[in-house]
Amino acid sequence: MEGLAKGLEVSLPAGRSFVDHGGVERFEVRARWWLPAPGTLRDVAIVDEARRHRVPELPLSADHAAQPVEGAPVFVGRYWLTGELAPQTRRLACLDDSAAMDGPLVAHRWDGERELDAAGFVRADG
């Protein structure tokens, strides 16, 4: 159930950690599970870009490769993303841009299209 609520987390090797944006030492990293060809842990880590260099550059196995999203698009949250509003893949979009921490409230206007694009995003800055 935790994976469904928080998304995929990858454990760091014994003795490895990094400090997150809140100053908390982490031994696991939340992963961009939607990437089709993961390279390294640093590539898939959902972290502030200013701290990405702190995540170990360790290879990932093919077990971490995404399953393609088929059918209707999928909308997810809980990732506190920042930057330009855009879908993560053609059929997957994150609607969480840190609204709980003074980021914008984000939504997507979906009209049944099979592929998402940035034009469907709307935001309300608070």
Do 42 and 78 sit in the same domain of this protein? no
> What's residue 109's pLDDT?
93
Q: Looking at the domain assignment, is residue 38 inside a domain? A: yes
Q: Looking at the domain assignment, is residue 14 inside a domain? A: yes
Res 22 pLDDT > 70: yes
Domain end (from 12, 38, 64) = 64
Do 59 and 84 sit in the same domain of this protein? no
C-alpha distance from residue 48 to each of 14, 22, 98, 110, 119 (Å): 23, 10, 12, 28, 25
Do 79 and 50 sit in the same domain of this protein? no
Q: Looking at the domain assignment, is residue 69 inside a domain? A: no
> What's residue 25's pLDDT?
92
Q: Which two tokens stand for residue 47?
A: 């972290």
How many alpha carbons lie under 13 Å from residue 100 in its C-beta half-sphere? 7
Total count of domains within the chain: 2
Q: Where in the sequence is the domain holding 47, given as residue range(s)?
A: 2-64
DSSP string, 10-56: EEPPTT--EE-TTS-EESEEEB-TT-SS--BHHHHB---GGGGGGS-
Res 115 pLDDT > 90: yes
Do 60 and 91 sit in the same domain of this protein? no
For 78-104, what is each residue's pLDDT tens digit?
777 777 889 999 999 988 756 666 777
For 35-72, what is each residue's pLDDT tens digit?
877 789 898 888 878 888 888 888 887 777 677 778 88
Mean of pLDDT values over 15-35: 86
Q: Looking at the domain assignment, is residue 103 inside a domain? A: yes
Do 56 and 81 sit in the same domain of this protein? no
Res 117 pLDDT > 90: yes
C-alpha distance from residue 16 to each of 3, 12, 66, 76, 113 (Å): 22, 6, 25, 29, 43
